[in-house]
Structure 1
Amino acid sequence: MLEIKGLCKYFGGIKAVDDCNFGVERGSITALIGPNGAGKTTAFNCISRTAMPTKGSVWLDGERIDKLRPHQITQRGLSRTFQISRNLADMTVLENVICQSRIGGWRDLMKPAMSSDEIDKAMGILDFLGITRIAYEDGSNLSYGQKKLMDLAALLMSDPKIILLDEPAGGVNPTLLEEIVGHIRKLNDQGLTVLIVEHNMELIMRLSHRIVVMAQGRVIANGAPAEIRENPAVLDAYLGGVLEEAV
């Protein structure tokens, strides 16, 4: 469904992503893992076009998308979250979520700021995530975990067919983490494809169908969790005993 071919992103002499190649199968949960500085988030930025790749290509359902603008990529069904929530603090949760609705062009200028259809859709998503109680809460008053859930709700407003989640478990308490994991599984069961960057190895090992491992901007391993857990190159390169502890 998603193909990354020869993707590179250079910052002067620094090769943040260097000849990166991997694919994401339709209907899968694929994890992109690696140590800090491996190039995972930079790869995400290039895929979603919040950063311009130096070279290489990104393909979604057979269409090249790395030359498109971010909103055009979203319109084609790919949406993402960020490590740090980008909510608008002076707006309610409901308003933040509706901001992510699909853009219909100039005709939208004639519509109310929040149509009844958008409100119904947003409330349905908030209900699915179990956070309707905070729908009218100001975005600045949310806990870190609530912001993560709001970001996920906003993501779903664009009707994506593949979502890129950048560290959804980061800074989240264990109880809320299990809720987020459950939501990801339900969305995947409904047919949504997921690509996830995450440092929580225990979570990755039980959630993912496939794992892509990056180090120093390159893919060094790609396979099922059991294969990655036993891969000598992965263990020797940088993860040490972390994967063994996650079993």
Structure 2
Amino acid sequence: MLEVKNLCKHYGGIKAVDGATFAVERGSITALIGPNGAGKTTAFNCISRTVTPTSGEVWLDGERIDQLRPHKITAKGLSRTFQISRNLSDMTVIENVIVQSRVEGIRGLLRPAMSAEERDKAMAILDFLGITRIAYEDGHNLSYGQKKLMDLAALLMSDPKIILLDEPAGGVNPTLMEEIIGHIRALNEKKGLTVLIVEHNMELIMRLSHRVVVMAQGRVICDGPPEMVRKDPQVLDAYLGGVLEEEAA
């Protein structure tokens, strides 16, 4: 579904992403991992066009999208979250979710701010995620974990076919982490969403992912099933060695 070809993002002499190439199969949960500074989030930003790539190509369902504006990419079916929640704190949860709805032309701008159809759709998404109880809570009153769930709900309002999740379980407690894992798995298995995920929690990645892409110094150094990646010498050297030694101990 998603193809990244020789993607580069340079900041002066710094090569944050340096010729990264990988693909995400339709219906899969693919993880993008690597040490800090590997270029994972920058690659996400280039794919979603929140930053402009220096060079390279990004294709979605056979259509090149790296030259499109971010809202056009969202309209094509690709949506993403960010490491830090970008919610509007002076709006309620349901308003934060509905604001992500697609606007289709001038007529869409002339509609009521919150239509009954949008409200029903948003409540159905909040119900799926088990957070209808906070639907009318102001954004600034939410816990960190609740903001993560609200971001996930907002992501789903645009009816994506592929979602990019940037550390969805980062900083949350173990109970909520299990809940988020369950939601991601359900979105993939029951709703057919393709998922590309950046996450530092290796235990989560190995349990959840069908495929793992490993980046280091802006480049892809390994790409394959989780068990193969765990044993790859380059990966052990660049990133996973300490984690695997700790698990063994």
* C-alpha distance in structure 1 between counterparts of 2:28 and 2:192, whole Å: 9
Aligned equivalent of 2:91: 91
CA contact (8 A) 1:79 1:163 kept: yes
* C-alpha distance in structure 1 between counterparts of 2:247 and 2:139, whole Å: 34
What is the SS of the residue equivalent to 2:7?
Answer: strand
State the TM-score, normalized to the length of structure 2: 0.98
CA contact (8 A) 2:35 2:238 kept: no
Aligned equivalent of 2:62: 62
What is the SS of the residue equivalent to 1:240?
Answer: helix
CA contact (8 A) 1:205 1:246 kept: no
* C-alpha distance in structure 2 between counterparts of 1:32 and 1:70, whole Å: 21
Q: Which amino acid aligns with 2:105?
A: G
* C-alpha distance in structure 1 between counterparts of 2:239 and 2:156, whole Å: 34
Aligned equivalent of 1:20: 20
Please state if 1:29 is matched with 2:29: yes
Within a 5 Å distance, the mapping from 1:44-193 to structure 2 comes to 44-189=44-189, 190-193=191-194
Using the aligned pairs only, state the percent identity.
Answer: 81
Aligned equivalent of 1:237: 238
CA contact (8 A) 1:167 1:197 kept: yes
What is the SS of the residue equivalent to 1:38?
Answer: coil
State the TM-score, normalized to the length of structure 1: 0.98
* C-alpha distance in structure 2 between counterparts of 1:244 and 1:149, whole Å: 32
Quote the RMSD (CA, aligned, Å).
0.9
Equivalent pairs, count: 247
* C-alpha distance in structure 2 between counterparts of 1:233 and 1:9, whole Å: 23
* C-alpha distance in structure 2 between counterparts of 1:129 and 1:77, whole Å: 21
Moved over 6 A (4+): none
Please state if 1:8 is matched with 2:20: no
Single out whichever of 81-90 and 234-243 deviates more from structure 2: 234-243
* Structure 1: stretches of 5+ with no match in the other structure: none
Q: Do the aligned partners of residues 211 and 44 (structure 1) sit closer, same or farther apart at CA in structure 2, a change above 3 Å counting? A: same
CA contact (8 A) 2:5 2:19 kept: yes
Q: CA deviation at 1:87?
A: 0.2
